[in-house]
Amino acid sequence: MKNIARLMLIVIMLILLAACGKKSNVLYVFNWSDYINPDLVKQFEEAYDCEVRESYFESNENMLTKIESSRQAYDIIVPSGDHVTILVQKGLLEPLDKSKLTNYGNLDPQLLLKAQSFDPENKFSVPYFWGITGLMYNKKHVPQSLIEQKSWSILGDDYFSGKQKVTMLEDAREVIGAALIFAGHDLNDASEAALADAEKILDIWDKNITQYDSESYKNEVADGTSWLAQAYNGDALQQMAQNSDLDFFLPVEGSSLWMDNMVILKSSQNKELAYKFIDFLLEAENAKLNAEYTQYPTPNKAAYDHLDETQKMNELIYPSPEYLEKCTMIQFLGEKIRGVDALFEKIRLN
Ligand code: N2P
């Protein structure tokens, strides 16, 4: 009997030890959904004998709320540029020790320069993917005649009225930004006059919009629940690869550009592993596999150089320089964000 009790004690201790051992080697990553190749995560776990615990957010705003309210122990998060600035100002990010990122040199210097608009000196953030926003639609339900103009105006077209088949992103900057661009303003113009013009446009579009959502639309346009959705290009391309009824266009008026970035939280309990993960994703072959999976444009020059021509030539992933001229990077707005948020709230609650 004594022996059994002793044996049980040993087993319990071993289980506890294993649990403790495992915990110290867990990396908590907070990322957008469908934004990393799961095979790479597995490879990393095997190579570094660790566990990567992923959680997902659908908007920068939700990510920020979660970081600030829950104090959950994330190590790495993937904010867009404007939110890198916000997180830096709030003192939440770890300045990066680049000597720990042996593959940092794979990044495109031109894009690193662009990233300096939200992170001067590239001190806190490592570009992950960049991208562009457009409109995804289901060819079975949206007539070609409506698509030909390739305009944002399709969002307000009478064809959709009363049908509950159009969605826009749950993203204040993207929704207000599209209206600002369509009204002929700069995407980052948050002046009262510009927002008043955007509101007039959004009042028209909103009559057709059934929800502001950044997640379920991906499947819903595919299954016909929605017919037209404002969409991030990679998300649309991932869906298109599985369903030939789907298509996507970049509006002629221009669109928003963003850059999402890997950052390490100051509160991270596992910074060494966080550096290893970032460096692993920066490695040329890994970054290539990641870009092929997500269908987003990669800021990793070494990876880009080895991409398949079909990927590089796809203008929905890498738009032409002429089209990019018409696009504007979403920038940090400081206090002016309040006007944008208030307008988005007003439209949504309408
Ligand atoms: C991935 C969406 C990422 C792009 N699903 C938004 N910045």
CATH of residue 334: 3.40.190.10
9 inside domain = no
pLDDT tens, 205-229? Answer: 999 999 999 999 999 999 999 999 9
pLDDT at 16 over 60: no
- Cβ burial of 115 (10 Å; 0-12, 13-18, 19+) is buried
Percent of the chain past pLDDT 70, that is, above it, reads 93
| 167 alpha-carbon distance from chain centroid | 18
Orientation angle between helical segments 192-206 and 172-182, nearest 10 degrees = 100
34 C-beta closer than 6 A to ligand 1: yes
How far away, in angstroms, is 200 Cα from ligand 1 center?
A: 27
pLDDT at 21 over 50: no
pLDDT at 12 over 60: no
Mark whether 278 and 242 lie in a shared domain: no
4 inside domain = no
258 C-beta closer than 6 A to ligand 1: yes
Please state whether the predicted TM-score (pTM) of the whole model is above 0.85: yes
Q: Which amino acid is at 319?
A: P
174 C-beta closer than 6 A to ligand 1: no
- Average model confidence (pLDDT) across the chain: 94
How far away, in angstroms, is 17 Cα from ligand 1 center?
A: 38
Tell me how far apart the alpha carbons of residues 295 and 57 are, in angstroms, rounded to a whole number.
19
Mark whether 97 and 139 lie in a shared domain: no
Structural domain for 78, as ranges? 25-130+258-317
How far away, in angstroms, is 232 Cα from ligand 1 center?
A: 6
* Domain count of the fold of the chain: 2
